[in-house]
Amino acid sequence: MSPRKPLFGVGISTAVHRAVDSLRQAVDADRAGLDLFSASDHPYFGDRLDAYALVSVALGRTSGITGLVSVTNLPNRPAPVLARTVTSLSELTGGRIVLGVGAGGLWDDIARMGVTRLTPGAAIRAMEEAITLVRALSGGGEPVTFEGEFHRVEALHPARTPAPPVWTGSVGPKSLAVTGRLADGWIPGHAADWLSDRYRTSRPVIDEAAVAAGRDPRDVATIYNLPGVISPSPLAATRDADGKWVGGSVGQWVEELTGAVLEHDAAGFVYFPVREPLTDVALGTWANEIVPAVREAVS
């Protein structure tokens, strides 16, 4: 099995008071040659920017980098409108958008926006319908009529633009199975990495569902949200007592990520600092020192 060409990204803040910094950092990440930037989606918090507004403006100021809402809060964003949003962004940017989706986690907050609260099982079924409908409303073709449990459209013309890749933030078995059947990528929850119990128990569920759907499991890439400190000198231990990655020097990061690609088939990494805000120094070290070294090592 040949190694993947991994993607490298950075998470930018959606805090309102950091709007200028976040836009600048997206531009800096683009100029440094990173593959993507991501923003979280919590529309019920008044001190946060709308994720799609932030991603849209940032994409308008950049030329090569891809934007990702990680992950779209589907209960607050109706699937037909979301389809128009992501196909429009794809058309406007030459395909520089990935659709991240999640079933919804903070239901007390979600419900405060007037959305009907769903059971966990219903939320996962709604997510599966949403992915199906977004794809049906993309790529041209005849008008779409869809009568689902949660989504209904009648004779709606699809956008001519193809749907972007779909990455999920699935956690439970039913949601992971949806990922295996339908998604192009998976972002393990709670910043779990390739050595975690969460990954070891979750990835087989995705693979089995992919096979059952007639897909190659490797078509579902694993992209990791990876927080950690970038230290000026090597750390005595790069993982804590529970085995979770905590960071290290540039050399330690390079060694760890190279192993993740070559030995564990990691498809990408989105860097987050241990604590916000993301500093320009950390972004620069990640983009200009760690990422090029890993790219060279796995090429």
**How high does pLDDT run on average in the chain?**
96
Single pTM value for the model: 0.95
In tens, the pLDDT along 257-279 reads 999 999 999 999 999 988 768 99
Length of the chain: 299
Write the CB contacts of 234 (distance below 8 Å, at least 6 apart in sequence).
Answer: 248, 249, 251, 252
| Calculated CA dihedral for residues 138, 140, 145, 150, nearest 10 degrees | 0
In tens, the pLDDT along 1-13 reads 677 799 999 999 9
Contact indicator for 74, 94 with CB cutoff of 8 Å = no
In tens, the pLDDT along 119-148 reads 999 999 999 999 999 999 999 999 999 999
Output the pLDDT for position 3: 72
> Using CA atoms, how far apart are residues 23 and 91, in angstroms rounded to an integer?
21
Q: Percent of the chain beyond pLDDT 90?
A: 93
Q: If you ran DSSP here, which 8-state letter would residue 64 be given?
A: S
Q: Count of alpha carbons within 13 Å of 204, Cβ hemisphere only?
A: 4
* Per-residue pLDDT at 60 exceeds 70: yes
Contact indicator for 96, 55 with CB cutoff of 8 Å = no
pLDDT band at 154 (very low <50, low <70, confident <90, very high): very high
Output the pLDDT for position 1: 64
Question: Across the strands, what pairs with 245?
Answer: 239
Output the pLDDT for position 104: 85
